[in-house]
Chains A and B, each alone.
Chain A
Amino acid sequence: MHISEGVLSGPVLAAGWGLAAAGTAMGLKKLESAEMPKTALLSSAFFVASLVHVPVGPSSVHLILNGLVGVLLGWPAVPALLAALMLQAVFFGYGGVSTLGVNTVVMAAPAVLCRSIAGPHIGNPGRLAAAMAAGAGAFAVFASALLMAAALWFTEGRYLVTAGTVVAAHLPVMAAEGLITALCVGFLRRVEPGLLPAPRAPRGAAPEEKERLKP
């Protein structure tokens, strides 16, 4: 899910950097001092998760965990992912420094979206919360795959083919991340509900949102 150096054209790279910078500014503004340790640890978890491999047919894909980071952090997920992606590029050679902006947008935009949809629900007890968390974990990977295909569209063309390939390759990751996110959220709710976003008073809109989350 990391785009390498030299694949994308200049305007795409510039657009990626612009959006990533805006998101990072927003994230840093919303990042409160008390949340800093949580942000740092989730950033580390994301950094390390990419080393956990899910073997898929001829290739292999790795965990991403952007859904989990997103629902737990919200906007501050953008700087958290940016920092982790930068270190992944430097230490592991994933992606590249010039593509850092695009890669941040690809991973962080779905994360923030997941928070805004699933965030208010996952703090509640019950099945809906677990389904929301699982949906967020899986949907974040799905949306990242679509965004990545969109970024590659300008150089590789054939949007649907690329998107299909990327989504198909990441189906096992979606399943794994849905499970991991649901387990993590369930665990945190029992052990330390303060780490989850504050639950919103339940409203009638919940079932449709749940449907929308299922990829």
Chain B
Amino acid sequence: MKQSLCLGLIAAAVCAAMLTAPAPARAHKVVVFAWTEGNMVHTESKFPNGKMVNGGKILVLDSRGTRLLEGTTDANGLFSFAAPGKADLKIVLEAGMGHKAEWLVRADELCGAPAPGQSASAPAAPAAPPEPSMATAPESLPPPEVQTSALTGANSPGIEKRLEGIERELTGLKRQIAEQSGKEAGFRDILGGIGYLLGLFGAAALVKARTKKGE
């Protein structure tokens, strides 16, 4: 009985710890995510409590793990680079003290990137076409170059302006979608985890009690 009082107190301490942890909970892990804009790839690295990774090392690898380029995140956790080719890119963040995170950029997210082998000196052309939205199959659309020439051929300045606006919005959306995947644990995870632990040790107690009875 006395012990149950005490266990209640520990449980209260657990609850207090839970309340001091704001939801969505802060954490000590690191996430990196990337979004594309034309053939530019932007990466953002942060600790899920909102702190940006300043001076983290970003490695860009191809699908076979060959290092293509590397860079360092700035004070806002950002690092951008021009995609070296239209191929899958693996972005690896090394933030020190055993922190590491990865993000995959698929080849079809990259628009206007030169074919592998060509030089990638110029950043996205100003008239880079917007990417097809996720819902439509990219294969079914004509290649972006054709689209661009068709549109500029139409020679209507209004359309280009709107295209640019759409492109900016799409980039913002892509960034939001990427950010979603780095979401931190919430109250449901915390309570679920505690439940699992209590259940786990409860099961262990059950097994111990059974084996004792059997003896």
Contacts and interface: CB of A to CB of B under 8 A. Distances in A.
Contact of B51 (A52, A59, A148): A59
A2 B7 CA distance: 28
A43 interface: yes
A195 B6 CA distance: 8
Contacts of A40: 197-198, 200-202
Contact of A41 (B11, B28, B47, B190): B11
B91 to A, nearest CB: 13
Interface string B1-37: 0110111011101100110110001111110000000
A48 B194 contact: yes
A169 B96 CA distance: 12
B175 to A, nearest CB: 20
A179 interface: no
Interface string A38-65: 1111111101111111000011111100
Nearest to A3: B98
A33 B54 CA distance: 48
B185 A91 contact: yes
A61 B100 contact: no
A95 B6 CA distance: 32
A97 interface: no
A202 interface: no
Nearest to A41: B10
A36 B182 CA distance: 35
A43 B6 contact: no
B28 A53 contact: yes
The 8 closest A-B pairs by CB, nearest first: A40-B201, A3-B98, A192-B6, A51-B21, A91-B189, A36-B205, A4-B100, A87-B193
Interface of A: 1-7, 28, 31, 33, 36-45, 47-53, 58-63, 80, 83-84, 87-88, 91-95, 148, 151-152, 162, 165-166, 169, 184, 187-188, 191-192, 194-195
Interface of B: 2-3, 5-7, 9-11, 13-14, 17-18, 20-21, 25-30, 47, 49, 51, 54, 96-102, 184-185, 189-190, 192-194, 196-198, 200-202, 204-205, 208-209, 212
Given A36-B202, A53-B28, A87-B197, 14 more contacts: A28-B204, A37-B7, A40-B198, A44-B197, A47-B197, A50-B27, A53-B26, A83-B197, A87-B193, A92-B185, A148-B98, A162-B97, A169-B97, A194-B6
